[in-house]
A and B are shown apart, each in its own frame.
Chain A
Amino acid sequence: MRRGVVLPRAAIVGVLALGWEITARSMDPLLYVPPSRVLPALGRLVALESFPYLPEHLWLTLREILIAYALAVGGGIATGFALGLRPGLGRIYAPLLGALYAVPSVVWYPSLMLLFGLGAASKIAFGFLLGFFPITLAVLAGVRQVDPHLVTVARAFGARPGTVFARVMLPSMLSTLTGGLRAGLALSVVGVIVGEVLGSKAGLGYLINYAYGLLRTADYVALVLVALALVLAIDGVAALGERRARRWA
C-alpha cells in the first residue's frame, strides 16, 4: 500500500483513539474503557493469560464459518443455477427468494436454535442462511447477464451444454459471481459470530458475550478487536481469491 493511503488512515485511527481515550476517562470506568486499558487487556488476551482457551474457541468459530460458507456456496450456486437456467422455475421461486431475503435474518435465529440446539450446528445453520441468499441472487443475476448471442456462437462452433456452461456462462458472469461469493462470505462470518453471541457454549462470540456479561469491559473490547482481525483476515483471503478469479477471466 502507498504512503498516501497509509498515513491519513493511521492519522484517522490515531485521532479516534485519542478522542476515545479522553471521553472514556471522564466516564464510569466499569462501563467505559479507554485504549490505555484495552491495549494491556489485548496483550493479556494474546498471551493467553485472560482466556487460556482462546485458540480452541477461535478454531471452533473458524470451522463453523468454513462449514457454513461451504454449504452456502454449494447451496447458493445450485439453487441459483436451478432457478436461473429454467426460466419457468425462476419465475415461480425467485420472488419468494427475494422476499425471504428482505426479512431481517436475525428473526430466524431462535427457530434455528430450537431446531439445532445450542451447539455449533445452529451457528453453522445461521451462517449458511445469511451467506446463501447473496450467492443465490448473484448467480441469478449472473445468468441473466450472459449474452445469448455468445451462446449461439459457441453452439455454432460445436459446444455442447456443458462446454457452453464452462466456456461461456461462467466467464460471462464471473464478476457478479465473485462479488456475490465475497458478500456471502462476509455474511456467513456475521451469521456465525452473531449466533455465538446470541446463545452458545463456545466460540469467539461466546467469549465476547461472557466477558460482556461479567462486565470485564476491557477484555470484551479486546475480544471484539480479535473478531475484527479475524474478519479482516478472512476478507483479505476472499479479496485475493477474487483478484485471482478476475485474472483467470
Chain B
Amino acid sequence: MTGSHIVVDRLSKRYDTSTGAVQALTDVSLSVGPREFCTVIGPSGCGKSTLLAMIGGLLGPDEGSIVIDGRRVAGPDPRRVAMVFQDPGLFPWLTALDNVAFGLELQGIPRAERRRIAADLLGPLGLREFALKYPRELSGGMRQRVAIARALAIDSGIVLMDEPFGALDEQTRFLMGEWLLDVWTRARKTVVFVTHSLQEALALSTRVVVMTARPGRIKSVIDLPLPYPRDLESPEIASFRAKLWGELREESLKTMNQ
C-alpha cells in the first residue's frame, strides 16, 4: 500500500505524573500528505514521541483528533500504520525472520506465506544470511533494520519512526539514513520521522516540522523541495540548515534553561 494522508487537528495531551500534570502537547495541527517524508524535530521532552504514539493509536488524545484517509484513529491499526521505535524492540525469542513476520502473523497470514514475505524483505536489506539469527546475535544497526523490515512487512500506507537511529553511532546512523531513503523511494509510503538530529532532518525530509519546548506546539513548518540524494555541503542545504537551526536554537535554549 502506498502513501496515506494524515490530518492532525488541534491535538492536546496531558500526562498525570507523580509530580503533577505535565502538558505534553498543546493545540497541534498538522497535515501530512501521501508519500511525504515528514520529519518532526524539537528539543527533548517537547512531546514529539507523544505525537507519534498518538498518530499510531497507542495513546488517545485529550482534545482534538487524528484522521487518516478520512477515518479517525481510535487505536493501533497495523493495516494503516506501522511503527518503528528508538529501541528496536525485537522479540528475543524469535529469529530475525520471525520478528519481521510478527505483524503478518497477527494478521493471520499462514506461516509459509509470511515467511516468504519476510525473506523477500530481508534480502534487499542485506540481512539474507542473518534471517535465522536471534536478535542478540545481531549488531545494533542490523536490529534496527530488522525492526524497520517488520514495519514494512505489514505494508501499511504510513510508517511512523520514533528516533529510529538515535541509539546508533554516527557512521552507522549516516549509512542507515541513506539506506532508509532508498527504501522509502522504492516503497513510496508516507513517513513521519521523529529526530533531534538536524543532519538527519536535512538529508531525509520533504518537510520539517519544528516543535517548541514543553508544552509542545508546532513552531514552524519548513518545506525542503530538494532532490535526493542530497549533498549536505551544498549552499542550498546550508541555507536551510541555518534557517532550521535558527528555529531550533531558541527552543533548545529554553529547554536547557528550564
Contacts and interface: CB of A to CB of B under 8 A. Distances in A.
Interface of A: 149-150, 152-159, 163, 167-168, 171, 174, 249
16 contacts: A149-B87, A154-B102, A155-B76, A156-B58, A156-B83, A157-B76, A157-B82, A157-B83, A157-B102, A157-B154, A158-B78, A158-B106, A167-B91, A168-B91, A171-B93, A249-B93
Contacts of A155: 58, 76
Given A149-B87, A149-B89, A150-B89, A156 B107 contact: no
Contacts of B79: 158
Contacts of A249: 93
Contact of A152 (B89, B102, B103): B89
A153 B91 CA distance: 9
A174 B92 CA distance: 12
A159 B76 CA distance: 9
Given A152-B58, A171-B93, A157 B103 contact: yes
Interface residues of B, number: 19
A150 B103 CA distance: 13
Contacts of A158: 76-79, 103, 106-107
Contacts, number: 45
Top 3 A-B pairs, shortest CB-CB distance: A153-B89, A158-B78, A157-B103
Contacts of B82: 156-157
Given A157-B83, A174-B93, 18 more contacts: A152-B58, A152-B89, A153-B83, A154-B102, A155-B76, A156-B56, A156-B76, A156-B82, A157-B78, A157-B102, A157-B103, A157-B106, A158-B76, A158-B77, A158-B103, A158-B107, A159-B106, A167-B91
A12 to B, nearest CB: 38
A156 to B, nearest CB: 4
B77 A171 contact: no
B91 A171 contact: yes
Contacts of A157: 76, 78, 82-83, 102-103, 106, 150, 154
Contacts of B58: 152, 155-156
A150 B83 CA distance: 12
B164 to A, nearest CB: 13
